[in-house]
Amino acid sequence: MASALHNLSSYDATSVPSAKGMSFAIVVADWNDQYTYAMAEAAIETLKKHGADENDIIVKHVPGSFELIYGAAWMVENEQVDAVIAIGCVIRGDTPHFDYICQGTTQGLAELNLKADVPVIYGLLTCNNAEQAAERCGGRLGNKGTECAVTAIKMVAYGED
Running DSSP on this structure, what letter comes out for residue 137?
Answer: E
* Closest-CA residue to 34 (of 136, 149, 123): 136
Q: What is the pLDDT along the chain (161 residues), one digit of tens a residue?
A: 465 667 888 889 999 999 999 999 999 999 999 999 999 999 999 999 999 999 999 999 999 999 999 999 999 999 999 999 999 999 999 999 999 999 999 999 999 999 999 999 999 999 999 999 999 999 999 999 999 999 999 999 996 76
On whether the CB atoms of residues 8 and 147 are closer than 8 A, the answer is: yes
Running DSSP on this structure, what letter comes out for residue 66?
Answer: T
What's the rounded Cα separation, in Å, for the pair 47 and 27? 15
**Which one of 6, 50, 61, 97 is the catalytic residue?**
97
H or E stretch at 156: helix 144-160
Strands 142-143 and 137-139: antiparallel
Domain ranges of the chain: 21-160
* Closest-CA residue to 125 (of 106, 112, 149): 106
Q: How many CB atoms lie within 10 A of CB 115?
A: 10
Note if 61 is an active site residue. no
End-to-end C-alpha distance for the chain, whole angstroms: 27
Position 141 scores a pLDDT of 95
Q: What is the pTM of this model?
A: 0.95
- CATH label, 21-160, candidates 3.40.50.720, 2.30.130.10, 2.40.50.100, 3.40.50.960: 3.40.50.960
* Closest-CA residue to 18 (of 153, 160, 143): 153
SS3 assignment, position 153: helix
Q: What is the chain's alpha carbon radius of gyration, rounded to the nearest angstrom?
A: 15
